[in-house]
């Protein structure tokens, strides 16, 4: 196994474990958010190993750096500690939910061996900012503009929703 | 073989068009025509039909004997597989006689109605409606008579039944009248069912032996007659539970078909057991009774039997049934007419009785005698009804003869109302020289010589007894109305007057016809005496169309003996009536008291209506109401099928489906994911 | 590629499943939103892997779109959570079930 492969498997394991940590953590919501940060960063490393350099950087900057920080702000604003809730209305839902998740996994995994294509060689500039940028601003500029509108709408919506009442 | 005559279709279509005009104006646009316009159009249409009928007869006569057919095909009508029928009219000797009777007597009655309906106090807006219905009736009857094929004849058949209903219940604001109209229609319908079954059987039998391209020859009368020998000898096997019928287990197919057709004729022409509608049909205006229930509609059954005479000639069983039913009805109805007190009911039962005579003749093979009696009866019965109408008008709508009497002091015998009525009474009683005498003798002769009908001598005896009874009750009627002491209220006495000329002129014309029509069918016996060769013009003219297999020649001596027997019986009846109602008027009450039980039975019309009600009508109504309506319709269809499905859907939703809307986000998420997985699985797999 | 494509896709599938289980099982609204983020990340990994396998940068472009959408969604979603908390004083997902029979 090459060093890159070893790195890959290591960080893959880390991503798995930290995601489990986030999901299974009931006592401390902030800790859960931190676990998610670890997952994000591990995924960023995986992206680098897959020649997706721009995406990896953006993952750290936007996802781990902005989105999860936002999560943490909200958690701290609402002063959420642990999940101390009333009795659940229906236990069956949880069970079914877990089952559905496992079932989805099983079905995906069962499809794996036969369906995948062959891997091609890529040039050295693959995944760099130049490469992605050219494709983005040439072929997918409409999608880009629409995405900015989406962000505008989200900003407006967030402000409206979180505002205190004007009374 | 058939000569085309383009304007033949206008004979029925003229009154039909006027009826349609009235219908559109009255029914859709609600603007009735004025009295003058109604009279002009309606009477004009029937006059036109009459003149065209005369012209058509002239054309018919000019054709050589044996080839007298005139035809007019208007349009194709039904085309369904092997079965096809056209709207086509045809004229041959018997239908020529009929159309003259229908349009001629119809014209006289239209004129009479102008005067009669003017005096109608109950509904003076009925004038255009009445003439519309009369025209519609004339149209239907002419279609029936002129029809070239069975389905078109059935159309006319149904049409006259409908018009009978409309006209009997003309003054429908009185519920009883509406009920009588409905009764006539329903009883007719029962007969129509038999008629239809007969048509189907005939078509199936003939189409079964012909190649497919010739299948439509099974409906046109001439063609049925031509191919009939192919199936004349066919027999059918009766099911073993019918083994008690005479002639079982094998019956001629022709007999079965003939019986089915006769059921239709019995319904339309008021024979036992379907006669019950005719006495109640007197609830309609008198011109209606004269036209429909004396001269035209009720004769449709006789016409149909004569039209299919080639069939009945091959079906001795059916012919015997017809003869015996006719004879029994004649006697039965005559007994009932003895005790009636409503002037129109006497004439109604008399009509049933005379129709019985016609069927008696037809069953015994004397088809031309039946047609002859049909013709003369049309004249004198219409005359009697119209005369009764004039009497009713004179006494301001009084119909009970117990409240009449002594009318001859106010309307002497030489006034049209009295004189014409007397002529009618004499004609129906069979006074020698008048038309009824000749036609009745022909009927009795046919019964006397009908070897193929079992017990035909008994039938002759019944016919003879009926003749006696007829003379008795007709003279009873005449004496009670016109002679004796006046029994009406004093106030009414002062208002008695003769009827207007529109009423009396038709009476006079009909009286003349009743007197002289006998010359048309003068039996050869008298022809020889008067030295006229081939004197029975009617029979000779119609011989082309009527089967004559069973006509027996009898020596003139026997004929004279039979005639004398009939005359003496009639005279006996007349004298008895004179005795009981003029000489010793206290006798009838004493007789009624002495023979209380039979008298009661007769007064109750043998309780036939009650019997039908108990056995047929009430169970049917009970089933319709309790079983079919409350049980099936209410509980089953409404309850289970309609409301039940709605309720079960509602219950399904409120007790089952609503729990899916739990409000729990994560439940919804589960469902969404399951759905998405299913879609992906479908797309991938 | 450093590892066979199968392995990467398998990892992505497992991460997605973990995210699904978290979204369906946890009752804390914030944790649910975080689980959804995890699911989106798993999908991003898939896109990147396929982009590398087929040599097309479109996969990276799509990943950018996914990140954008995730950002927008989180902003609005957390705004809703804050509103809900202000009204009900709870972030339990079972407390927001008024739309029921």
Band (pLDDT 50/70/90 cuts) for residue B535 is low
Q: How many domains does chain C have?
A: 1
Angle between helices B416-429 and B556-578 (to 10 degrees): 130
Band (pLDDT 50/70/90 cuts) for residue B552 is low
Quote the pLDDT of residue B661: 84
Quote the pLDDT of residue B125: 61
Residue in chain B nearest A89 by alpha carbon? B664
Among the residue ranges B314-318, B473-477, B593-597, the one predicted with the least confidence is B593-597
Mean pLDDT of the region A46-59: 94
CB contact under 8 A, C94 and B659: no
- Is residue C101 included in any domain, yes or no? no
| C5, C7, C41, best to mutate vs chain A, most A CBs in 10 Å | C41
Given a cut of 90, whether residue B347 has pLDDT beyond it is: yes
CATH code of the domain containing C70: 1.10.287.3510
Mean pLDDT of the region A18-44: 93
Q: Quote the percentage of chain A above a pLDDT of 90.
A: 54
Cα B540 from chain centroid (whole Å) = 26
Residue in chain B nearest C95 by alpha carbon? B664
Quote the pLDDT of residue A84: 72
Contact partners, residue B19, CB within 8 Å, separation at least 6: B132, B133, B135, B136, B139
Quote the pLDDT of residue B220: 84
Mean pLDDT of the region B416-427: 88
Q: Which domain holds residue C15?
A: 5-91
CB contact under 8 A, A22 and C34: yes
Among the residue ranges B38-47, B114-123, C60-69, C83-92, the one predicted with the least confidence is B114-123
Band (pLDDT 50/70/90 cuts) for residue A115 is low
- Is residue C98 included in any domain, yes or no? no
Q: Quote the percentage of chain C above a pLDDT of 70.
A: 100
Among the residue ranges A50-54, B670-674, C72-76, the one predicted with the least confidence is B670-674
- B interface toward A at CB cutoff 8 Å? 662, 664, 666-667, 669-670, 673-674, 677, 681, 684
Given a cut of 70, whether residue C8 has pLDDT beyond it is: yes
CB contact under 8 A, A100 and B681: no
Closest chain C C-alpha to A21 CA, distance in angstroms: 10
Task: Please list every residue in chain C whose beta carbon sits closer than 8 Å to the beta carbon of residue B670.
Answer: 24
Domain A1-84 fold is 1.20.120
Q: Quote the percentage of chain A above a pLDDT of 70.
A: 95
Quote the pLDDT of residue A50: 92
> What's the CA gap between B140 and B12, in Å, rounded?
7
Minimal Cβ distance to A100: which of B664, B673, B681: B673
Q: Quote the percentage of chain B above a pLDDT of 90.
A: 28
Band (pLDDT 50/70/90 cuts) for residue B390 is confident
Q: Show me where the domains of chain A are located.
A: 1-84, 128-167
Residue A89 near chain B (CB below 8 Å): yes
Contact partners, residue B6, CB within 8 Å, separation at least 6: B72
Quote the pLDDT of residue A167: 56
> What's the CA gap between A89 and A85, in Å, rounded?
11
> What's the CA gap between B27 and B130, in Å, rounded?
13
Question: Using omega within 30 degrees of 0 as the cis cutoff, is the peptide bond preceding B273 cis?
Answer: yes
Mean pLDDT of the region B208-236: 79
Given a cut of 70, whether residue B127 has pLDDT beyond it is: yes
Mean pLDDT of the region C44-70: 93
More confident residue, B537 or B220: B220
Band (pLDDT 50/70/90 cuts) for residue A73 is very high
Q: Are B229 and B213 in contact (CB under 8 A)?
A: no
Quickly tell me which residue has 């209410």 as its tokens: B634
Residue A47 near chain C (CB below 8 Å): yes
Residue in chain C nearest B669 by alpha carbon? C24
CB contact under 8 A, B669 and C101: no
List the one residue out of B444, B457, B447, B427 whose CA is nearest residue B565: B444
**Residue C92 DSSP one-character state:** B
Among the residue ranges A56-65, B102-111, B314-323, C90-99, the one predicted with the least confidence is C90-99
Mean pLDDT of the region A50-70: 93
Mean pLDDT of the region B48-55: 93
Closest chain C C-alpha to B668 CA, distance in angstroms: 9
CB contact under 8 A, A36 and C37: yes
Mean pLDDT of the region B381-397: 86
Mean of per-residue pLDDT scores for chain A: 87
Q: Are B145 and B98 in contact (CB under 8 A)?
A: yes
Over residues B245-274, the pLDDT tens digits come to 777 677 888 888 999 999 999 999 889 889
Residue A126 near chain C (CB below 8 Å): yes
Residue in chain C nearest B668 by alpha carbon? C24
Q: Are C60 and A55 in contact (CB under 8 A)?
A: yes
Given a cut of 70, whether residue B316 has pLDDT beyond it is: yes
Given a cut of 90, whether residue B210 has pLDDT beyond it is: no
Task: Please list every residue in chain A whose beta carbon sits closer than 8 Å to the beta carbon of residue B667.
Answer: 90, 93
Band (pLDDT 50/70/90 cuts) for residue B520 is confident
Given a cut of 70, whether residue B538 has pLDDT beyond it is: yes
Mean pLDDT of the region A76-103: 77
Q: Are B476 and B405 in contact (CB under 8 A)?
A: no
- Complex-level ipTM: 0.91
Closest chain B C-alpha to A113 CA, distance in angstroms: 14
Closest chain B C-alpha to C78 CA, distance in angstroms: 16
Contact partners, residue B29, CB within 8 Å, separation at least 6: none
Residue A76 near chain C (CB below 8 Å): no
Quote the pLDDT of residue C41: 96
Q: Are B245 and B321 in contact (CB under 8 A)?
A: no
Helix (H, G, I), strand (E, B) or coil at B71: strand
Quote the pLDDT of residue A160: 87
Residue in chain C nearest B653 by alpha carbon? C101
Over residues B465-491, the pLDDT tens digits come to 999 999 999 999 998 888 877 777 766
Band (pLDDT 50/70/90 cuts) for residue A52 is very high
Mean of per-residue pLDDT scores for chain B: 85
Mean pLDDT of the region B16-30: 87
More confident residue, B404 or A140: A140
Over residues B351-376, the pLDDT tens digits come to 999 999 999 999 988 888 899 999 99
**Residue B220 DSSP one-character state:** B
Quote the pLDDT of residue C59: 93
Minimal Cβ distance to C94: which of A88, A122, A132: A88
Size of interface B-C (CB pairs under 8 A): 30
> What's the CA gap between C48 and C62, in Å, rounded?
9
- Is residue C96 included in any domain, yes or no? no
More confident residue, B297 or B104: B104
> What's the CA gap between B369 and B207, in Å, rounded?
33
Band (pLDDT 50/70/90 cuts) for residue A148 is very high
DSSP assignment of B378-439 equals HHHHHHHHHHHHHHHHHTTS--BGGG---GGGTS-TTSHHHHHHHHHHHHHHT-TTSHHHHH
Mean pLDDT of the region B132-157: 93
Given a cut of 90, whether residue B666 has pLDDT beyond it is: no
Residue in chain A nearest C53 by alpha carbon? A119
Quote the pLDDT of residue B233: 80
Mean pLDDT of the region B589-601: 81
Among the residue ranges B118-122, B147-151, B581-585, C91-95, the one predicted with the least confidence is B118-122
Task: Please list every residue in chain C whose beta carbon sits closer than 8 Å to the beta carbon of residue B673.
Answer: 20, 24
Over residues B444-461, the pLDDT tens digits come to 988 888 888 888 888 999
CB contact under 8 A, C99 and B663: yes
Band (pLDDT 50/70/90 cuts) for residue B190 is very high
Residue A101 near chain C (CB below 8 Å): yes
Residue A154 near chain B (CB below 8 Å): no
CB contact under 8 A, B662 and C100: yes
Beta strands in B181-289 (DSSP E): 235-237, 250-252
> What's the CA gap between B380 and B393, in Å, rounded?
20
- Is residue C70 included in any domain, yes or no? yes
Given a cut of 60, whether residue B549 has pLDDT beyond it is: no
Helix (H, G, I), strand (E, B) or coil at B88: strand
More confident residue, B500 or B107: B107
Quote the pLDDT of residue B141: 94
Quote the pLDDT of residue B1: 63
Residue A125 near chain B (CB below 8 Å): no
Mean pLDDT of the region B30-39: 80
Contact partners, residue B256, CB within 8 Å, separation at least 6: B201, B236, B318
Closest chain A C-alpha to C48 CA, distance in angstroms: 7
Q: Enumerate neighbours of C (3 or more CB pairs within 8 A).
A: A, B
- Is residue C42 included in any domain, yes or no? yes
Mean pLDDT of the region C74-80: 93
CB contact under 8 A, A97 and C25: yes
């Amino acid at each position: 196994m090459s060093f890159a492969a070893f790195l890959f498997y290591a960080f893959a394991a880390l991503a798995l474990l930290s995601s489990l940590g986030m999901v299974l953590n009931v006592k401390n919501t902030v800790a859960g958010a931190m676990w998610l940060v670890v997952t994000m960063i591990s995924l960023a490393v995986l992206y680098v190993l897959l020649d997706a350099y721009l995406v990896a950087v953006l993952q750290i900057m936007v996802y781990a750096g902005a989105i999860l920080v936002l999560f943490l702000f909200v958690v701290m604003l609402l002063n959420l500690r642990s999940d101390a809730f009333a009795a659940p209305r229906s236990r069956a839902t949880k069970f079914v939910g877990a089952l559905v998740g496992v079932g989805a996994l099983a079905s995906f995994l069962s499809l794996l061996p036969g369906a995948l294509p062959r891997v091609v060689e890529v040039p050295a500039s693959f995944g760099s900012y130049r490469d992605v940028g050219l494709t983005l601003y040439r072929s997918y500029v409409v999608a880009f503009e629409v995405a900015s509108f989406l962000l505008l709408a989200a900003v407006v919506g967030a402000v409206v929703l979180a505002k205190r009442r004007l009374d | 073989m058939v000569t085309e005559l383009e304007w033949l279709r206008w004979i029925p279509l003229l009154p039909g068009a006027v009826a349609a005009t009235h219908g559109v104006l009255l029914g859709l646009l609600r603007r009735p025509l004025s009295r003058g316009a109604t009279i002009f159009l309606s009477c004009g249409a029937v006059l036109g039909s009459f003149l065209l009928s005369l012209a058509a007869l002239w054309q018919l006569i000019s054709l050589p004997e044996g080839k007298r057919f005139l035809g007019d095909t208007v349009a194709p009508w039904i085309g369904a597989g092997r079965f096809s029928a056209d709207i086509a009219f045809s004229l041959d000797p018997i239908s020529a006689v009929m159309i003259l009777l229908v349009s001629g007597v119809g014209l006289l009655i239209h004129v009479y109605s102008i005067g009669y309906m003017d005096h109608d106090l109950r509904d003076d807006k009925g004038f255009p409606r009445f003439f519309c219905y009369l025209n519609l009736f004339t149209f239907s009857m002419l279609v029936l008579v002129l029809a070239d094929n069975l389905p078109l004849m059935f159309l006319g058949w149904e049409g006259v039944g409908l018009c009978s209903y409309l006209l009997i219940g003309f003054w429908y604001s009185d519920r009883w009248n509406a009920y009588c109209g409905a009764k006539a229609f329903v009883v007719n319908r029962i007969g129509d069912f038999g008629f239809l079954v007969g048509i189907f059987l005939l078509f199936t039998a003939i189409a079964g032996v012909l190649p497919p391209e010739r299948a439509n020859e099974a409906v046109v009368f001439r063609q049925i007659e031509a191919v009939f020998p192919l199936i004349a000898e066919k027999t059918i096997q009766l099911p073993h539970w019918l083994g008690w019928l005479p002639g079982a287990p094998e019956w001629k197919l022709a007999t079965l078909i003939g019986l089915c057709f006769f059921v239709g004729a019995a319904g339309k022409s008021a024979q036992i057991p379907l006669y019950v509608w005719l006495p109640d049909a007197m609830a309609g205006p008198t011109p209606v009774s004269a036209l429909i229930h004396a001269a035209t509609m009720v004769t449709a059954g006789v016409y149909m039997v004569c039209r299919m005479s080639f069939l009945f000639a091959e079906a001795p069983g059916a012919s015997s049934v017809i003869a015996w039913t006719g004879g029994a009805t004649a006697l039965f109805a005559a007994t009932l007419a003895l005790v009636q007190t409503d002037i129109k009911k006497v004439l109604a039962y008399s009509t049933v009785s005379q129709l019985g005579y016609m069927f008696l003749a037809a069953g015994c093979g004397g088809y031309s005698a039946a047609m002859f009696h049909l013709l003369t009866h049309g004249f004198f019965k219409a005359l009697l009804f119209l005369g009764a109408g004039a009497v009713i008008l004179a006494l301001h709508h009084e119909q009970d003869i117990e409240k009449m009497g002594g009318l001859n002091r106010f309307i002497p015998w030489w006034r049209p109302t009295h004189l014409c009525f007397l002529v009618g009474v004499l004609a129906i009683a069979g006074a020698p020289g008048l038309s009824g005498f000749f036609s009745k003798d022909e009927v009795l002769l046919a019964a006397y010589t009908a070897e193929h009908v079992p017990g035909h001598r008994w039938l002759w005896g019944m016919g003879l007894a009926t003749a006696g009874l007829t003379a008795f009750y007709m003279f009873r009627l005449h004496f009670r109305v016109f002679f004796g002491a006046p029994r009406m209220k004093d106030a009414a006495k002062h208002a008695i007057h003769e009827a207007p000329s529109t009423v009396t002129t038709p009476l006079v014309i009909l009286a003349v016809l009743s007197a002289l029509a006998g010359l048309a069918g003068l039996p050869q016996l008298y022809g020889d005496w008067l030295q006229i060769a081939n004197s029975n013009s009617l029979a000779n003219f119609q011989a082309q169309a009527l089967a004559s297999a069973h006509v027996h020649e009898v020596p003139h001596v026997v004929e004279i003996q039979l005639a004398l027997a009939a005359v003496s019986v009639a005279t006996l009846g007349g004298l008895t009536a004179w005795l009981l109602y003029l000489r010793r008027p206290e006798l009838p009450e004493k007789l009624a008291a002495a023979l209380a039980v039979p008298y009661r039975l007769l007064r109750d019309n043998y309780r036939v209506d009650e019997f039908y009600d108990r056995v047929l009508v009430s169970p049917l109504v009970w089933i319709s109401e309790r079983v079919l309506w409350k049980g099936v319709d209410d509980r089953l269809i409404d309850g289970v099928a309609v409301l039940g499905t709605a309720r079960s859907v509602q219950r399904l939703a409120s007790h089952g489906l609503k729990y899916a809307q739990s409000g729990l986000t994560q439940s919804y998420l589960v469902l969404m994911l399951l759905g998405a997985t299913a879609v992906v699985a479908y797309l991938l797999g | 590629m450093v590892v066979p494509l199968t392995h990467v896709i398998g990892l992505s599938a497992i991460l997605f499943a973990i995210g699904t289980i978290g979204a369906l099982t946890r009752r804390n609204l914030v944790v649910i939103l975080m689980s959804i983020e995890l699911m989106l990340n798993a999908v991003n990994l898939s896109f990147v892997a396929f982009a590398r396998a087929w040599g097309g940068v479109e996969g990276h472009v799509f990943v950018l779109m996914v990140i954008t959408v995730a950002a927008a969604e989180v902003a609005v979603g957390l705004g809703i959570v804050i509103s809900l908390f202000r009204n009900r004083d709870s972030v339990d997902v079972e407390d927001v079930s008024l739309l029921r029979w």
